[in-house]
Amino acid sequence: MEKVYIGIFIVLAIVLIVAVILLSRKAILKFYERSTARYQDKLIKNQIEEVNNVYLTMRGWRHDYHNHMQSLKAYLEMDNIKEAREYLDNLETDLDDINLLFDTGNIGVDAILNSKISLAINNGIKVDYKATVPVKTTVSDIDLCVVLGNLIDNAVEACEKVESDKRFIRLYIGQFKGQLYISVSNATAETVRKLDEEYITNKRGNHGHGLKRINLVVEKYEGFINRKNEAGVFVTEIMLPL
């Protein structure tokens, strides 16, 4: 009888240990995900501030366009070619690092897209894009920038593993049936048959964190996400309520 009690005690002890391990692992994973989310949110906020400053600088330059033209005309009318040339050189220097590609109607989206897509193009990736976004949406600017930033970062990361002449990204953002539709296609060297939670979990580094962050935002707004992987192409489609 004593042996039976000992056996039961051992089994209970083992069950308790396993339960503690599982709960601890779950708690650690949850803490890690929250920490990662807070860290990415902080990075995104800083990035939005930086690209917003660049974007507003560009808008300011465009606003002053006529003043610049008047100054140049004045130099030319006085035959001050040297001063006119110097004036143009200074303007060119101011615009060297600014590449305004997007004017979607939403300043937060414009900021993140101009920053990310300009960088992709500068890295030799062929980019086709079209984007229109309402000024106001039910999705916060932070969450929208998390989705777009991670989508493009993942697309660029995938392109870096492909031969330079085969790198491409296709971006489309628009309204469809009262929702915001986002589609990103990119070149890829991998072919995955099953794009489920296991695929996302097994991804390491920034790519894996990015996939999780995208999913969390889509779930938050009860949206829709679909990922497709065919030979040489990876496609992500997202629908979010307006």
Verify that 52 and 75 share a domain, yes or no: no
Rounded to the nearest 10°, the torsion over CA 148, 227, 177, 128 is: 50
Q: How many separate domains does the chain show?
A: 2
- Rounded Cα–Cα distance for residues 152 and 102 (Å): 14
DSSP state of 225: E
Verify that 139 and 187 share a domain, yes or no: yes
Verify that 186 and 152 share a domain, yes or no: yes
pLDDT of residue 142: 84
How much is the pTM?
A: 0.63
Domain span at residue 78 reads 64-98
Average pLDDT rounded to a whole number, residues 204-221 = 79
What are the strands of the beta sheet with 179-187, ordered from one edge? 126-131, 168-176, 179-187, 233-241, 224-230
- Rounded Cα–Cα distance for residues 62 and 110 (Å): 16
Verify that 124 and 51 share a domain, yes or no: yes
Verify that 144 and 161 share a domain, yes or no: yes
For the chain, the straight-line distance linking the first and the last C-alpha, in angstroms and rounded, comes to: 68
Average pLDDT rounded to a whole number, residues 151-177 = 92
pLDDT of residue 210: 78
Verify that 118 and 186 share a domain, yes or no: yes
Verify that 32 and 89 share a domain, yes or no: no
Verify that 122 and 197 share a domain, yes or no: yes
**pLDDT digits 0-9 by tens, 84-125:** 778 777 776 665 555 567 878 787 888 888 878 888 888 899
Verify that 90 and 113 share a domain, yes or no: no
pLDDT of residue 147: 93
**pLDDT digits 0-9 by tens, 31-90:** 545 655 665 666 666 566 656 656 666 666 666 766 777 777 787 788 788 887 787 777
